[in-house]
Amino acid sequence: MTRPPTAAQRRVIDAADPVTGRLRGTESQLAALVRHGLAFRHPRPPRDHFLTPAGHRVREEREAAARPETAVAAGATAPPPAASGVFAARVGGEEDAGTGPARVREVHSAWQGLLELRRMTNRDGGTDRPCAWERTHLVQAAALALEAAGHRPAGAGPEGYRVRDTPQPEAVAVRDPDLVALRACAATLEAAGWQVGEHAEPRTGARCLLASPRRV
């Protein structure tokens, strides 16, 4: 991108679907975003426009700048922040981990949107493996697959799954103190197109999963 997007283009970026990145705007606005590398036009009908990874980064940077600073010490069990008003799958450790009917509908809609994004952005149209957006949002993508399948995220207590970043490229860690529940998480992620291995934590010996998006 040679120059920052205009105010009108930023409004289009900010209004993109939070999961699929689908855009709505005038033809000139969308064409400009494509020229800047912030959007692409899907080759198949209805030929909608979507944010590229660079476009997602622009929006996320704006959302991060708009959030007030919080004095939360970073730690292995602290969930990443979510922008207010934007859908975020529960990664575990949130204070409110309830699953009411409205939340169930919201998660279902987000998962269907993600499957559609796979269909439209994977070169062969396949929905059986993660797409580029998921590879740049590993924790949220894995957590959405788990929450959409009905697994329970951890709340204030220890029970439930937690999805966290790892130092390894393209890998997340999934923890659950219940070994049966942990292995059920592994089956869900494998069905959603992730490669999953079960490992023992070096210091505690507790079992955890390492999951990476499958490419083929």
Spatial separation of the C-alpha atoms in residues 75 and 167, rounded to whole Å: 14
pLDDT value for 79 = 41
- Residue 118: name the closest of 34, 196, 193, 31 by CA: 193
Which residues are CB-neighbours of 197 under 8 A, at least 6 positions away? 209, 210, 211
Pull the structure tokens for residue 111. Answer: 């998962």
pLDDT value for 76 = 36
- Residue 50: name the closest of 25, 78, 70, 73 by CA: 25
What's the whole-model pTM score? 0.65
Q: Is 66 exposed, middle or buried (0-12, 13-18, 19+ CB in 10 A)?
A: exposed
Provide block-wise average pLDDT over 10 residues at a time, the chain (216 residues): 76 84 89 88 81 80 57 35 59 76 85 88 90 92 95 87 92 96 97 96 90 90
Spatial separation of the C-alpha atoms in residues 138 and 134, rounded to whole Å: 6
pLDDT value for 139 = 95
What's the CA dihedral at 7, 10, 14, 15 to 10 degrees?
A: 80
- Residue 135: name the closest of 88, 172, 174, 185 by CA: 172
Spatial separation of the C-alpha atoms in residues 161 and 143, rounded to whole Å: 9
Angle of the 7-14 helix axis to the 53-66 helix axis, nearest 10: 90
- Residue 211: name the closest of 203, 9, 199, 49 by CA: 199
The residues facing 40 across adjacent strands are 50
Spatial separation of the C-alpha atoms in residues 46 and 4, rounded to whole Å: 28
